[in-house]
């Protein structure tokens, strides 16, 4: 059996199946820009969209939701991930910090230390008396967001993890749109109101 020649853009397809491509991955980004039409066509055959955000410097693939009356819906390629209350809260906080940052430093990368992240999120836990336990617990949602690619560890300090530095990846703007941000904030507020009653 004759072997099928490999597509020149195969590495881009594989990388997108693994996760987003960022503009700081210079060679991959250049290749994506050069081959975006055949890459788009390749994914379109499977009902998947190639989404390129040049301004924010990332590209990803999206599988649209199946229509309610669709006869043969496609199986999900990408699983939906449910996040804890704390991870969702952290997403909202990071999204708002990025908005504030972009007003002053548009187009630059946003870096935050673990301590800075914790200081922002602890404002929502005013009733906590054991601060060391709170800060230890807040490491979990930070790690959660690292695992799903919203945060990227850029500098590690093994002697004091609070000095660990993270880049807030701009994909958070696609994952948490302005509409979604307002919806999540409303749900979080309702959750807080219920807990306080």
pLDDT at 138: 77
Q: Which pLDDT does position 167 carry in this prediction?
A: 92
Q: Cα separation of 125 and 16, whole Å?
A: 38
Domains plus CATH for the chain? 10-62 (no CATH), 85-196 (1.10.10)
The β-bridge relationship of strands 165-168 and 58-62 is: unpaired
Phi, then psi, of 10 in degrees rounded to 5? -55, -40
User: What are the backbone angles phi and psi of residue 117, rounded to the nearest 5°?
Assistant: -65, -45
And the tokens for 113?
A: 């230390």
HSE, side-chain direction, 13 A CA sphere, residue 91: 28
Q: Are strands 58-62 and 49-53 parallel, antiparallel or unpaired?
A: antiparallel
Question: What is the C-alpha to C-alpha distance for residues 197 and 192, in angstroms, rounded to an integer?
Answer: 9
Pairing mode of beta strands 58-62, 110-113: unpaired
Say if residue 114's pLDDT is above 80: yes
Q: Among 175, 148, 174, 177, which residue's Cα sits nearest to residue 53?
A: 174
Residue 97 phi/psi, 5-degree rounding, is: -60, -40
Give the pLDDT mean for 170-191.
75
Q: Predicted confidence band at 183 (pLDDT cuts at 50, 70, 90)?
A: confident
Nearest to 145 by CA among 179, 113, 168: 168
- Predicted confidence at residue 192, as pLDDT, reads 58
- Asked if 38 and 65 count as a contact pair (C-beta separation under 8 A), the reply is no
| pLDDT for the residue numbered 43 | 94
pLDDT tens by residue, 29-77: 999 999 999 999 999 998 899 999 998 889 999 888 777 666 777 777 7
Give the model's pLDDT for residue 105. 77
Which residue has tokens 């500098």? 155
The pLDDT assigned to 31 comes to: 96
Instruction: Provide the 10 A C-beta neighbour count for residue 108.
Output: 9
């Amino acid at each position: 059996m004759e072997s099928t020649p490999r597509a020149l853009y195969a590495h881009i397809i594989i990388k997108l199946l693994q996760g987003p491509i960022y503009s700081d991955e210079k060679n991959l980004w250049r290749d994506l820009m050069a081959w975006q039409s055949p890459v788009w066509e390749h994914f379109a055959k499977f009902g998947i969209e190639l989404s390129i955000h040049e301004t924010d410097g990332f590209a990803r693939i999206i599988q649209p939701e199946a229509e309610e009356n669709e006869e043969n819906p496609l199986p999900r390629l990408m699983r939906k991930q449910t996040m804890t209350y704390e991870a969702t809260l952290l997403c909202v906080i990071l999204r708002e910090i990025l908005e504030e940052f972009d007003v002053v430093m548009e187009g630059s990368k946003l870096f935050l230390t673990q301590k800075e992240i914790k200081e922002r999120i602890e404002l929502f836990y005013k009733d906590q008396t054991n601060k060391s336990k709170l800060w230890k617990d807040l490491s979990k949602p930070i790690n959660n967001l690292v695992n799903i690619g919203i945060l990227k560890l850029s500098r590690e300090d093994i002697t004091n993890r609070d000095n660990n530095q993270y880049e807030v990846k701009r994909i958070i703007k696609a994952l948490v749109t302005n509409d979604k941000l307002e919806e999540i904030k409303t749900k979080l507020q309702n959750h807080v109101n219920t807990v306080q009653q």
